Chain A
Amino acid sequence: MNTYSLMFAGVGGQGSLLIAELTSLAAVSAGYDTKQTEVHGVSQRGGSVETHVRFDRVEKVHSPIITPGEAFAVIGLEKLEALRFAHYVDQKNGTIFINDHELIPASVADAEKIYPHETIEYLKSMGLRVIVLPASRMARDLGDGRMANVVLLGALSTILPIPQDLWEKTIKLRIPAKYLEGNLKAYQAGKEMMS
Chain B
Amino acid sequence: MREFLLGNEAIARGAWEAGVKFVSGYPGTPSTEIIETLAMRFPETNPRWSANEKVAFEEGMGAAIGGLRVLVTMKHVGLNVAADAFMVFPYSGTNGGFVVISADDPGMHSSQNEQDNRYLARVGKVPVLEPSDAQECHDFMIAGLELSEQFKSPVMLRTTTRLAHHKGLVEVGERREVEKKEFVRDAKRFSVPIYRLIRRPEVEKTLNALTAYAETCSFNRMEHNDNKSIGVVTSGIAYQYVKEVMPNAGVLRLGMTFPLPANLLREFCSQYETVYVIEEGEPFIEEYMRNLGITNLKGKEIFGLIGEYSPGRLRSALALGDPPKPFTEQVNLIPRPPMMCVGCGHRTVFAALKQLKVTVSGDIGCYTMGALPPYEAEHTTFCMGASIGVAVGLEQAGHKDTVAIIGDSTFIHSGIPPLIDAVYNKSHLTLVILDNSATGMTGSQQNPASGKNLLGEETPKLDLEAFCRATGVSSVEVVDTWQRKEIVNTIRRAIAYKGPSVVIARGPCNQLPEIKKRHVIPFIVEEELCTKCDACFKVWCPAITRTEQNFPVIAAHECTSCTVCAQVCPTDAIKLAEAFA
Binding site for B on A (CB under 8 A): 11-12, 24-25, 28, 33-48, 61-65, 67-70, 80-81, 83-84, 86-87, 91, 105-109, 111, 114-116, 118-119, 122-123, 126, 144, 146
Bound Cα distance A61, B166 (Å): 12
Residue ID in chain B nearest A78 by CB atoms:
B336
Of the candidates B29, B335, B369, the one whose C-beta lies within 8 Å of that of A105 is: B335
In contact, B167 and A68 (Cβ under 8 angstroms): no
Mark interface residues in B320-345 (1 if CB within 8 Å of A CB, else 0): 00011111001111111111111000
Of the candidates B162, B243, B374, the one whose C-beta lies within 8 Å of that of A65 is: B162
Interface flag for B257 (CB, 8 Å):
no
Sampled A-B contacts (16; CB under 8 Å): A24-B4, A37-B166, A41-B338, A43-B366, A44-B443, A45-B342, A47-B337, A47-B338, A62-B244, A63-B241, A80-B336, A107-B373, A108-B337, A116-B332, A122-B327, A126-B327
Bound Cα distance A146, B244 (Å): 37
Q: Given the known A-B contacts A105-B334, A106-B540, are A42 and B310 also in contact in the complex, defined by CB atoms under 8 Å? A: no
Of the candidates B331, B336, B557, the one whose C-beta lies within 8 Å of that of A48 is: B336
Residue ID in chain B nearest A39 by CB atoms:
B109
In contact, A35 and B311 (Cβ under 8 angstroms): no
Taking CB atoms, residues of chain B closer than 8 Å to A28 are: 4, 169
Taking CB atoms, residues of chain A closer than 8 Å to B29 are: 42
Bound Cα distance A61, B560 (Å): 43
Bound Cα distance A64, B368 (Å): 30
In contact, A146 and B165 (Cβ under 8 angstroms): no
In contact, B310 and A47 (Cβ under 8 angstroms): no
Taking CB atoms, residues of chain B closer than 8 Å to A83 are: 327, 331, 333
In contact, A40 and B109 (Cβ under 8 angstroms): yes
In contact, B339 and A46 (Cβ under 8 angstroms): yes
Chain B nearest CB, measured from A135 CB (Å): 17
In contact, A34 and B312 (Cβ under 8 angstroms): no
Closest 10 pairs (CB-CB, A-B): A47-B338, A43-B338, A37-B166, A64-B166, A46-B339, A67-B312, A68-B323, A116-B331, A62-B240, A62-B244
In contact, B557 and A146 (Cβ under 8 angstroms): yes
In contact, A45 and B310 (Cβ under 8 angstroms): no
Q: Given the known A-B contacts A35-B167, A108-B337, are A86 and B310 also in contact in the complex, defined by CB atoms under 8 Å? A: no
Majority secondary structure of chain B interface residues (helix, strand, loop or mixed): loop
Interface flag for B511 (CB, 8 Å):
yes
Chain B nearest CB, measured from A80 CB (Å): 7
Taking CB atoms, residues of chain B closer than 8 Å to A33 are: 169
Q: Given the known A-B contacts A42-B441, A62-B243, A87-B324, are A108 and B333 also in contact in the complex, defined by CB atoms under 8 Å? A: no
Interface flag for B354 (CB, 8 Å):
no
Bound Cα distance A105, B338 (Å): 9
Chain A nearest CB, measured from B296 CB (Å): 25
In contact, B168 and A47 (Cβ under 8 angstroms): no
Mark interface residues in B288-323 (1 if CB within 8 Å of A CB, else 0): 000000000000000000000011100100000001
Of the candidates A34, A44, A115, the one whose C-beta lies within 8 Å of that of B332 is: A115
In contact, A63 and B310 (Cβ under 8 angstroms): yes
Interface flag for B542 (CB, 8 Å):
yes
Taking CB atoms, residues of chain B closer than 8 Å to A109 are: 373-374
In contact, B372 and A107 (Cβ under 8 angstroms): yes
In contact, A42 and B338 (Cβ under 8 angstroms): yes
Taking CB atoms, residues of chain B closer than 8 Å to A41 are: 109-110, 337-338
In contact, B330 and A122 (Cβ under 8 angstroms): yes
Chain B nearest CB, measured from A149 CB (Å): 15
Q: Can you name 18 extra interface pairs (CB under 8 A) apart from A43-B366, A115-B332?
A: A41-B109, A42-B110, A42-B368, A44-B440, A44-B511, A47-B338, A47-B339, A62-B241, A67-B310, A67-B315, A80-B334, A83-B331, A86-B327, A87-B324, A87-B326, A107-B339, A111-B334, A123-B327
Taking CB atoms, residues of chain A closer than 8 Å to B241 are: 62-63, 65
Bound Cα distance A172, B369 (Å): 37
Taking CB atoms, residues of chain B closer than 8 Å to A114 are: 332, 334
Taking CB atoms, residues of chain B closer than 8 Å to A123 are: 327
Bound Cα distance A146, B368 (Å): 28
Taking CB atoms, residues of chain A closer than 8 Å to B368 are: 42
